[in-house]
Structure 1
């Protein structure tokens, strides 16, 4: 789930936000997907197998901001705070979804925009 601080800024209609590196990409999974994966694994005949609960898809912080601008109906001013930028930051981080897909025959995941819209409304 994307940072709740970002959601808070948009919900409060704040005009600016301080963030770190906007060009890092991470995997964000909707809790509805995660719950369905757990249920699927519990109901499967597979036992004692290590499985990554992931989608294998990444989104950058910049993409999150762009989507939130669209959802909230205004463009927030992003200020880069150097103290929020991590030295040696991993640019892209995600899990391998292959085994999960093989076990549960997953074809689709809830889109990040759908997740952000749900978060913004609640």
Structure 2
């Protein structure tokens, strides 16, 4: 029995804005948009691979706010880049909330953290060459 990751689903107060964040900052592509109950659902791909489904709060749901504080369960999503300084500049230019500017870990990897819409924490990492 084989498995592959199909998608991660983010619930957003503003799904259009959240999807735009991933398009503007990562170069993701919205490959489909469809109605979902009383809201909308966007499917995004990154480099031709499924990335996220982003939808709003449907009628009758009572979604609770997200948090960027360390927590049990899902803590953050990690993205790897070959240009962390360029990524940092892009996030800043796009008005993203930088949680932690790029710094070098003892392993030599450089990491930074960014807050995506709905208080989703994103780690950006560049491995040593």
**Alignment TM class, shorter chain as reference:** under 0.3
Larger helix percent: 1
Higher relative contact order (CA 8 A, sep 6+): 1
Task: Report the TM-score when normalising by structure 2.
Answer: 0.26
TM score, norm. by length of structure 1: 0.27
Which of the two has higher C-alpha Rg?
A: 1
